[in-house]
Amino acid sequence: MNYLETLNPQQLEAVKNTEGPSMVIAGAGSGKTRVLTYRIAYLIEKGVDPFNILALTFTNKAAKEMKIRIAEIIGESEAKNLTMGTFHSVFARILRHHSDKMGYPSNFTIYDTQDSRSLLRTIIKELKLDDKTYKPNLVHGRISSAKNNLISAAGYEANTDIVAEDRMSGKPRLFEIYKAYEKRCFKAGAMDFDDLLYKTNVLMRDHPDVLHFYQHRFKYILVDEYQDTNYSQYLIVKKLADVFHNICVVGDDAQSIYSFRGANIENILNFKKDYSDAKTFKLEQNYRSTQTIVNAANSIIAKNQEQIQKNVWTSNDEGNKIKVIRTLTDNEEGKVVTNMIFDTKMNEQAAHSDFAILYRTNAQSRSFEEALRKLNLPYKIYGGLSFYQRKEIKDLLGYFRLTANPQDEEALKRVINYPKRGIGKTSIEKVIVAANHYDVGLWDVLSDPVKFPCGLAGATQNKINAFVTAIKSYRVELEKVDGYELAQTIAKSSGILKELYDDKSPEGVSRYENIQALLAGIKEFTESVGENETAFLSDFMVDVALLTDADDEKDEDKDKITLMTIHASKGLEFPYVFIVGLEENLFPSQMALNSRSELEEERRLFYVALTRAEKKATLSYATSRYRWGNLITSEPSRFIEEIDTEFLEVANPSRGGGRSLNQVNLEKRVAKSTKTIFSDKARKLKKVSSVDTKPKSGTAANLLNLKVGYNVVHEKFGKGKVIGLEGTPPEKATVFFPKVGNKQLLLKFARLEVLS
DNA sequence: CTTGCAATGACTGAT
DNA sequence: TCATTGCAAG
């Protein structure tokens, strides 16, 4: 057990106290993952069967990495039997095992957020409700938080407080939507993300034998990032640990950043109430960051009221001060940050993977991508539109889903007319009406038109029959042939492969490549099982809905600059961290300014961001940025001021030389007095007046007469001179604009006004 | 039923 | 700005 010698006394205690309830409060960078890993390894070495251990992590990637480390210590054959993963993936598997008890097929579909919202949109339309009052996102949020608090549709309707709340907010029929949604999901054999936790609770509540089985199987339970669990998750863990009480939760209240997902910080604050004999271990030594970073982070988090007292410290070097950078625009912010990365890389021989750019919202990535591309620096963006959410991927997965579970309504709607086969919207609506009328699933109506007539024209019915036959033929193969083989068959015979192959536009080519990448992934998956086993497509589909980009990182992505939201960066560390967009209304988000608790969560988010950095942290903000196409002015985030000034160094790259903090404050005051440059209203007014006074695009006569040397005006680029033309009559022009340089413009689209 | 264009609303965060 | 949706015409 040599590995134990590498631990400090507190870490060692947390590892060795395996019996009974314990809570590990782990400050940022305090070796939390090591404690978890070694605790599991230690348990196994002491003779605990890995089969009896359940470890719940925050991401699948974390689980995978931890498993590898444990395997290195105790051997792979042992580590294999550990149950380890996110709440969602672990309990999805358990639910599949017992799905019959709940009336679900074992191949039930997992609806992702897109699917849930699309179904809600359909239901809102069917109930003839206004989707401006009942915005699908909002409705989904309401239903989601109900489920996270274990409130069913019936419970929702019966809860007078909730119903009153909905009535107050002008949405009295929300409970009807929830009821319809619950029913439709069930009929489609589908669970949404929240169901995976909710139904696990239901399973354990209604089937004591199942609960009993897992209570005795999971003798040792470990939960990582406990501060970010919601009520539903909390209760699952509590029930499972109810027999042996060997529960170890690890977390840091200062890093609780998921309340929007129902996470309840009280879970960690109240742990001692549930388990009065709980031991608490505090890990306070930070091994990750410089003193400057640790102390700066402490000075921020001290501004929060709600917290468990702790003293995070480090024996690392003092390190550099935290640089604060101010730029004029978001684009300049991209350039400056990128240049700094380039310089640092050169001066300190750093790898690309040593750098991370962290932002509050996904939409901020654009200016950094552009700047990085210009300097030819490799980067990888996490989050945002993930691979599995791309249209072409979801389309093909739609066929797979339908093959595994033909009742899957969202998959059906997605692919029944893609590629185009002449089954349009009206036909599908007729089918939905019939399905609701007979109270059966869409697939039942499609596959048995005699029993469930829906009044479609004969030609359309024939097309539907052909589609149904195709899906049925895939189903026959589902648990017969190798998953890769079936995936290939479907991709070809559905027509998707041809459709994308024929599209030679750059986007089309990339979509085709994505499909090939998905197929390659399935191939890899089917080859990963033992020689004498066959991996079916249904096996691949089991948790594909729960995969994220971070889960299947490719080798070629290893040495790249990381771009991600701060939320996604939790648990990671980088030598050089750039926290960008530190502006009021962006970070902290304007949605969080209404209450102290929300603002405190933003502050914890900033704390998380800063504590990702090992060597150097840099903060940046822009005094103006584009938002929805409007240029708005912004002022520096209050979080910059909250850091003790002794840790900061204010640099101004656009003017050269540093400035004092007083100057920042001065500028803040100036910024406050400046109004939005182009408000939304101004933009609309401008648009209207431009319609009144001048043609939308150059008049036909004007454009036909366009010649090289003419002066023109472009809406965005200003005045310019035509220096080249293509086509007769001219279709494309090269125009020199003094402000932005040469631009190629399609006359069809560019709103050029001809001056001479 | 499909196509093309205008209008519209989205930007917190993610399993 | 960008992607999705609604509407008119073929």
User: Closest nucleotide to residue A366 (Cα to C1')?
Assistant: C1
pLDDT in tens, A186-197: 999 999 999 999
Confidence of residue A677 (pLDDT cuts 50, 70, 90): very low
SS3 A133: coil
Check pLDDT > 60 for residue A750: no
Check pLDDT > 90 for residue A361: yes
Check pLDDT > 60 for residue A702: no
pLDDT at A686: 29
- Give the closest residue to B11 (Cα–C1′): A363
pLDDT at A321: 95
Q: Distance (Å, rounded) from C-alpha A706 to C-alpha A727?
A: 11
Confidence of residue A591 (pLDDT cuts 50, 70, 90): confident
Q: Distance (Å, rounded) from C-alpha A617 to C-alpha A574?
A: 10
User: What's chain A's Rg over C-alpha atoms?
Assistant: 29
Q: Give the pairing of strands A109-111 and A83-86.
A: unpaired
Highest-pLDDT range among A127-136, A184-193, A711-720? A184-193
User: Closest nucleotide to residue A683 (Cα to C1')?
Assistant: C1
Q: Distance (Å, rounded) from C-alpha A734 to C-alpha A750?
A: 11
Residue A252 · residue A27 · CB < 8 Å: yes
Check pLDDT > 90 for residue A547: no
Looking at residues A139-163, what average pLDDT do you find?
A: 94
Residue A242 · residue A215 · CB < 8 Å: yes
Check pLDDT > 80 for residue A512: yes
Sign of the four-CA dihedral A557, A563, A564, A569: positive
SS3 A325: strand
Helix (H) or strand (E) holding A618: strand A613-622
Looking at residues A2-7, what average pLDDT do you find?
A: 89
Check pLDDT > 90 for residue A301: yes
Positions on chain B within 7 A of a protein C-beta: 1-3, 9-15
Check pLDDT > 80 for residue A320: yes
Looking at residues A144-165, what average pLDDT do you find?
A: 94
Q: Distance (Å, rounded) from C-alpha A243 to C-alpha A235?
A: 14
pLDDT at A684: 30
Chain A span 612-651 residues with beta carbon within 7 Å of strand B: 627-629
List the catalytic residues of A: 32-33, 224-225, 255, 612
Confidence of residue A398 (pLDDT cuts 50, 70, 90): very high
**Phi/psi-derived region of residue A22, left when phi > 0, alpha when psi is between -120 and 50, beta in every other case:** beta
For tokens 């209304």, the residue is A585
The DSSP line for A538-596 is HHHHTTGGG--GGGG--GGGTTSEEEEETGGGTT--EEEEEE---BTBBTTBGGGTT-H
Which one, of A272, A307, A284, lies nearest residue A22 by Cα? Answer: A272
As given in the structure block, the two tokens for residue A396 are: 């093909």
- Give the closest residue to B8 (Cα–C1′): A132
Cis peptide before A653 (omega within 30 of 0): no
pLDDT over 90 percentage in chain A:
62
As given in the structure block, the two tokens for residue A71 are: 């395997």
Q: Distance (Å, rounded) from C-alpha A118 to C-alpha A120?
A: 5
Which one, of A356, A327, A337, A377, lies nearest residue A566 by Cα? Answer: A356
What secondary structure letter does DSSP report for A656?
-
Looking at residues A487-499, what average pLDDT do you find?
A: 91
- List of residues 6+ apart from A205 with CB closer than 8 A: A211
Would the Cβ of A361 be found within 7 angstroms of any atom in strand B? yes
Looking at residues A570-592, what average pLDDT do you find?
A: 94
Positions on chain C within 7 A of a protein C-beta: 1-2, 4-5
SS3 A718: strand
Would the Cβ of A145 be found within 7 angstroms of any atom in strand B? no
Check pLDDT > 50 for residue A689: no
Check pLDDT > 90 for residue A24: yes
Q: What average pLDDT does the structure give for chain A? A: 86
Would the Cβ of A432 be found within 7 angstroms of any atom in strand B? no
User: Closest nucleotide to residue A629 (Cα to C1')?
Assistant: C1
Confidence of residue A694 (pLDDT cuts 50, 70, 90): very low
Helix (H) or strand (E) holding A24: strand A22-26
Confidence of residue A382 (pLDDT cuts 50, 70, 90): confident
Residue A156 · residue A103 · CB < 8 Å: no
Which one, of A700, A688, A726, A695, lies nearest residue A713 by Cα? Answer: A695
Amino acid at A723: I
Which one, of A111, A56, A274, A95, lies nearest residue A202 by Cα? Answer: A95
Which one, of A215, A217, A241, A286, lies nearest residue A23 by Cα? Answer: A241
Would the Cβ of A568 be found within 7 angstroms of any atom in strand B? yes
pLDDT in tens, A99-115: 999 999 999 999 999 99
Confidence of residue A469 (pLDDT cuts 50, 70, 90): very high
- For chain A, the maximum distance between any two Cα atoms, rounded to a whole number of angstroms, is 89
Which one, of A224, A299, A329, lies nearest residue A611 by Cα? Answer: A299
pLDDT in tens, A213-258: 999 999 999 999 999 999 999 999 999 999 999 999 999 999 999 9
Cα pseudo-dihedral A192, A572, A617, A624, rounded to 10: -20
Q: How far is CA A716 from CA A195, A487, A502, A630, in A?
A: 48, 47, 35, 12
Check pLDDT > 50 for residue A631: yes
User: Closest nucleotide to residue A429 (Cα to C1')?
Assistant: B1
C1' of C10 to CA of A713 (Å): 36
Confidence of residue A659 (pLDDT cuts 50, 70, 90): very low
Which one, of A647, A26, A569, A615, lies nearest residue A289 by Cα? Answer: A615
N residues, chain A: 756
SS3 A204: helix
C1' of B15 to CA of A704 (Å): 56
SS3 A707: coil
C1' of B14 to CA of A384 (Å): 9
Q: Distance (Å, rounded) from C-alpha A233 to C-alpha A197?
A: 7
Burial of A256 per CB tally in 10 Å (0-12, 13-18, 19+) = buried
C1' of C9 to CA of A748 (Å): 21
Which one, of A571, A684, A550, A575, lies nearest residue A629 by Cα? Answer: A684
pLDDT at A87: 95
More reliable by pLDDT, A297 or A732? A297
C1' of C5 to CA of A555 (Å): 40
Q: Distance (Å, rounded) from C-alpha A576 to C-alpha A615?
A: 6
SS3 A575: strand
SS3 A249: strand
Q: How far is CA A553 from CA A34, A430, A538, in A?
A: 22, 44, 23
User: Closest nucleotide to residue A424 (Cα to C1')?
Assistant: B1
Would the Cβ of A89 be found within 7 angstroms of any atom in strand B? yes
Residue A290 · residue A314 · CB < 8 Å: yes
pLDDT at A170: 87
Check pLDDT > 60 for residue A519: yes
Q: Distance (Å, rounded) from C-alpha A143 to C-alpha A151?
A: 9
Confidence of residue A708 (pLDDT cuts 50, 70, 90): low
C1' of B7 to CA of A475 (Å): 42
Confidence of residue A671 (pLDDT cuts 50, 70, 90): very low
> Would the pTM count as exceeding 0.95?
no
Looking at residues A556-576, what average pLDDT do you find?
A: 91
The DSSP line for A348-384 is HT--GGGEEEEESSGGGHHHHHHHHHHTT--EEE-SS
User: Closest nucleotide to residue A626 (Cα to C1')?
Assistant: C1
pLDDT in tens, A607-622: 999 999 999 999 999 9
C1' of B4 to CA of A748 (Å): 14
The DSSP line for A721-737 is EEEEEETTTT-EEEEEE
Q: Give the pairing of strands A379-381 and A109-111.
A: unpaired
Looking at residues A332-341, what average pLDDT do you find?
A: 95
Count CA atoms within 13 Å of residue A342 on its CB side.
Answer: 15
C1' of B12 to CA of A558 (Å): 28
Check pLDDT > 70 for residue A678: no
pLDDT at A653: 54
H helical segments located in A588-737: 596-610, 638-642, 661-673, 680-693, 700-704
- Give the closest residue to B13 (Cα–C1′): A567
Burial of A375 per CB tally in 10 Å (0-12, 13-18, 19+) = exposed
User: Closest nucleotide to residue A748 (Cα to C1')?
Assistant: B5
Residue A290 · residue A316 · CB < 8 Å: yes
Residue A257 · residue A608 · CB < 8 Å: yes
pLDDT in tens, A46-65: 999 999 999 999 888 889 99
Would the Cβ of A695 be found within 7 angstroms of any atom in strand B? no
Residue A485 · residue A528 · CB < 8 Å: no
